[in-house]
Amino acid sequence: MKKFALLLSILMVATMILAACGGGGNAEATATLEPVPADFAGKTNPLGTDAATEGAKVFQVNCEPCHGPQGHGDGPAGAALDPKPKNLGELQTRASDDYLFWRVNTGKPGTSMAPWAGILTEEQIWQAIAFIRTLKP
């Protein structure tokens, strides 16, 4: 009976530890995205997939330093940031165009994601989003 109680105790502690650590899963992959504000809701990329070519250039200059060449959040400037930059390859699989456009435009409070409105044109932002859509998780 003592062995059973010990085994049960170990199992309970292990379960609590795994729960506290997120079970070893990718918390970013399962995190719920914030709702898109009304000013941005419903926007879709007006550019075709061919815009990804120009978007790659926009991304390389403006996004790659933090997000890295494949958008995995591993750029040289991103290494010093807390929280770390998002893995855009993973994010783009869950995020709508309006969400991505909103975040690039306005940035994200509490992070180092700066607002790019006024620095990039709307066309450049959509081009970058077209490129982001090509990134792999």
Mean pLDDT of 119-125: 98
Stated pTM of the model: 0.78
* 98 or 2, higher pLDDT: 98
Residues 51 and 69 in one domain: yes
7 & 60 share domain? no
Is there a single domain that holds both residue 27 and residue 77? no
- Do 48 and 111 reside in the same domain of the chain? yes
With helix as H, strand as E and coil as C, how does the chain read? Answer: CHHHHHHHHHHHHHHHHHHHCHHHCCHHHHCCCCCCCCCCCCCCCCCCCCHHHHHHHHHHHHCHHHHCCCCCCCCCHHHHCCCCCCCHHHHHHHCCHHHHHHHHHHCCCCCCCCCCECCECHHHHHHHHHHHCCCCC
Same domain, 15 and 69: no
In terms of Cβ atoms closer than 10 Å to its own Cβ (0-12, 13-18, 19+), residue 100 is buried
Looking at the domain assignment, is residue 137 inside a domain?
no
Tell me the per-residue pLDDT of 45-64, one tens digit each, with 9 for 90 and over. Answer: 999 999 999 999 999 999 99
Confidence of residue 31 (pLDDT cuts 50, 70, 90): confident
Residue 18 has pLDDT above 80, yes or no: no
Verify that 13 and 46 share a domain, yes or no.
no
The reported pLDDT for the residue numbered 29 is 55
Are 100 and 51 in a shared domain? yes
- CATH number of the CATH domain containing 74: 1.10.760.10
Shared-domain flag, residues 19 and 86: no
State which residues form the domain around 98. 33-132
Burial class of residue 6 (count of CB atoms within 10 Å of its CB; 0-12, 13-18, 19+): exposed
Read off the pLDDT band of 109 (50, 70, 90): very high
Residue type, position 25, single letter = G
